[in-house]
């Protein structure tokens, strides 16, 4: 229902993604629904989903990297993949598509040294509507709750808000559109986990015939125990522009609650 209302209100759809930490993820080309706009096909479909490791796998991002190490283990991969949004969690207008676990473009302005941390599990789900919009859910598990808390604190800040704001603006400009930032906010409430960072960015986009459309972006990041969750939405209008739609908060809280239950039912791995 929320998507149908958005389409009726502004008659334009884009599919893009931004994710927490130090990366911005345009996972699909924008889809414009305007009289003179070309329909651009998405690129997220057909991407092969990374399979869970049969045995523990340890990787680094290269010499001198600030990124966390990866030591993916089956138990934590299973927790992360069970925690993200599932097909029965979302409205029937959404259908699941293959979800890669990694990729994207770095945000150099927000690149703290997290090389002493270890990621032990990752999960991601993507849902696409009939008109090409995307909803994404992601969970990352760390070696312990202390690492998750420090990683969250280091990467969720106003620097990252600026990176989201300017990165999406530049991305849209590169596709021949004229975006103007209407608002860009970082909020810590309402709470979703033990730590919460909610990014709200809204643009006014002018197309070639001079018509203007609203394009809001919401990114909900939260920490719960050893896990950091991220939910990204586009074209979801909040009642007053100062907080996410309640439906998005409900989905993020569902994942947060699921993580708490899954972690309590399992024992943290020992390394």
Per-residue pLDDT at 227 exceeds 50: yes
pLDDT in tens, 42-99: 222 322 223 334 444 445 444 456 889 999 999 999 999 999 999 999 988 888 988 7
Mean pLDDT of 241-263: 88
Does 183 or 37 have the greater pLDDT score? 183
Per-residue pLDDT at 146 exceeds 90: yes
What pLDDT is stored for residue 94 in this prediction? Answer: 86
The answer to whether residue 56 sits within a structural domain is no
Q: Return phi, psi of residue 43, to 5°.
A: -115, 0
The answer to whether residue 237 sits within a structural domain is yes
10-39 burial, b for 16+ CB within 10 Å, e for fewer?
bebbbbbbbbbbbbbbbbbbbbbebeebee
Contact 214, 229 (CB under 8 A): no
pLDDT in tens, 8-27: 333 333 333 344 444 443 43
The answer to whether residue 203 sits within a structural domain is yes
- Domain containing residue 176: 2-47+66-264
Look at strands 178-187 and 94-97 and give their pairing. unpaired
As for how many domains the chain has, the answer is 1
The pTM of this model reads 0.77
The answer to whether residue 107 sits within a structural domain is yes
* % residues pLDDT > 90 (the chain): 44
Per-residue pLDDT at 130 exceeds 70: yes
Radius of gyration over alpha carbons of the chain, in Å? 18
The answer to whether residue 53 sits within a structural domain is no
The answer to whether residue 52 sits within a structural domain is no
Does 1 or 140 have the greater pLDDT score? 140
CATH of the domain at 71: 3.40.1000
Band of pLDDT at residue 269, cut at 50, 70 and 90: low
Helices and strands per DSSP (H, E), number in the chain: 5, 11
The answer to whether residue 59 sits within a structural domain is no
What pLDDT is stored for residue 247 in this prediction? Answer: 85
The answer to whether residue 181 sits within a structural domain is yes
């Amino acid at each position: 229902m929320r998507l149908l209302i958005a389409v009726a209100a502004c008659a334009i759809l884009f599919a893009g993604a931004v994710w927490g930490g130090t990366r911005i993820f345009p996972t699909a080309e924008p889809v414009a629904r305007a009289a003179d706009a070309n329909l651009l096909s998405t690129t997220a479909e057909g991407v092969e989903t990374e399979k869970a490791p049969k045995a523990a796998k340890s990787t680094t991002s290269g010499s001198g990297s600030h990124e966390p190490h990866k030591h993916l283990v089956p138990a934590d991969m299973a927790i992360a993949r069970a925690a993200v949004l599932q097909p029965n969690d979302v409205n029937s207008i959404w259908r699941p598509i293959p979800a890669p676990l990694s990729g994207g473009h770095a945000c150099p302005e927000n690149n703290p040294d997290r090389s002493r941390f270890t990621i032990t599990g990752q999960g991601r789900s993507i849902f696409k509507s009939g008109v090409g919009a995307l909803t994404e859910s992601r969970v990352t598990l760390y070696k312990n709750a202390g690492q998750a808390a420090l990683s969250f604190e280091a990467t969720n800040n106003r620097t990252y808000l600026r990176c989201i704001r300017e990165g999406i603006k530049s991305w849209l400009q590169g596709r021949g559109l004229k975006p103007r930032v209407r608002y860009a906010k970082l909020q810590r409430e309402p709470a979703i986990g033990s730590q919460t960072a909610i990014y709200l960015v809204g643009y006014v986009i002018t197309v070639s015939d001079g018509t203007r459309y609203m394009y809001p972006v919401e990114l909900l990041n939260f920490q719960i125990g050893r896990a950091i969750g991220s939910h990204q939405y586009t074209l979801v209008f909040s009642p007053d522009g100062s907080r996410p739609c309640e439906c998005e908060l409900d989905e993020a809280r569902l994942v947060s609650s699921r993580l708490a239950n899954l972690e309590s039912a399992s024992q943290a791995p020992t390394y």
